[in-house]
Chains A and B, each alone.
Chain A
Amino acid sequence: MPFVLRIEMLVLATVVLFTVFLAIRQRKLLVRFALIWLVIAVGMVFAALCPAFVIWLCGVVHIEQASNLIYLLGLLVLLFLSLGQTVLLSKQSDQIKRLTQFISLEQFRRMCEERDHGDR
């Protein structure tokens, strides 16, 4: 595993960790959503510090270059992360729809009540 790649991964992991902690501090990111990014950053640090593990994994999945495996893993992680976010987005769209419906019906109920009181 090239030395430069290991340094790059350590730098990138540091940037990810720093950005995530900053976002949590500024309350832009909830801790429960930050967790996955922290796991990714720690994974990158581990891979940079233990190249033997990466090389062993290359042998298992029959990929010649360690850098190719790193890129593949990065791609897969982002793909699954994106899928997870789409699922979350769908769930929240449904929740917003339900909220809109309940609030609007409640407003209508109150409007009818006020009108009935006015009529009396």
Chain B
Amino acid sequence: MSQKRVLLIIPAYNEERNIEKTIGQILSFPPQEGFSLDYLVINDGSRDRTGQICHQHGYPCVDLVQNLGIGGAVQTGYLFAARQGYDVAVQFDGDGQHDIGSLNTLVAPILSGDADFCVGSRFMDGTSQFKSTALRQAGIRYLSALLRLLRRLRISDPTSGFRAAGASAIAYLAEHYPVDYPEPESLILLDKRGFRITEVPVNMFARNAGKSSIDWKRSIYYMFKVSLAMLCACMGEEE
């Protein structure tokens, strides 16, 4: 049986303080028996030295000619993965929050053929080092409940950006990926298309440096917008 190919998609926007550490973590990850591992940084029009650092160190890096936001950046990675025929694509944040040590757990359901899409959850077994505010946890619980209500989908961490997609899901996401705060909405789109979605516990760290893409003052707007997007995705036409 030929070895499976896994691609880490690393979206990075103004991550000059984190990107070296993130890639260092990946490079120190030992070779695996079941799959070969590549990575690709998507520099989302950073205004700092993120792109320069990547090129200096020879990290494979796509420089988006203008900022597209997290959705457009991740989708570029899926486009690349689809074109290059990868078996699995894993979204892996450039800010160093995701733990490469959880990679095997995350890709296992896809490599075994049990799922098409796998979400890495911070909350499943309580071992994750990630600490979040009560407000954010309440928001995540709300989105989780909304997912269950709309699609009967049981995902404890719908906003997790540490996720893995199999070949068929890669092909779909390369064509259809929401633009802003895309994680919960994309789960609905995938579920509607009949992709099998599962969830596994993963470890995440607290952010090394830089600001989260969602500061709490904007969380009410975020919740409203994501809820609306989820409802629209649910009601949208089948393609």
Contacts and interface: CB of A to CB of B under 8 A. Distances in A.
Contact of A105 (B66, B72, B76): B76
Instruction: Give the 8 A-B CB pairs with smallest separation, nearest first.
Output: A108-B62, A101-B76, A104-B64, A97-B72, A104-B62, A104-B65, A103-B65, A100-B66
Interface of B: 60-66, 68, 72, 75-76, 79-80, 83, 179
Interface in A21-36: none
A107 B65 contact: yes
B63 A105 contact: no
Interface in A78-120: 93, 97, 100-101, 103-105, 107-108, 112
19 contacts: A93-B179, A97-B68, A97-B72, A97-B75, A97-B179, A100-B64, A100-B72, A101-B72, A104-B64, A104-B65, A105-B76, A105-B83, A107-B65, A108-B60, A108-B61, A108-B62, A108-B63, A108-B80, A112-B60
Interface of A: 93, 97, 100-101, 103-105, 107-108, 112
By secondary structure, the A interface counts as helix
Nearest to A99: B65
What does DSSP make chain B's interface, helix, strand, loop or mixed?
A: mixed
Contacts of B79: 101, 105
A107 B63 contact: yes
B179 A105 contact: no
Interface core residue of A93, A101, A105, A112 (most chain B CB under 10 Å):
A101
Given A105-B76, A105-B80, A100 B65 contact: yes
Contacts of B83: 105
B131 to A, nearest CB: 34
Nearest to B80: A105
Contacts of A104: 62-65, 76
A13 B134 CA distance: 59
A107 B63 CA distance: 8
Nearest to B64: A104
Contacts of B179: 93, 97
Nearest to B69: A97
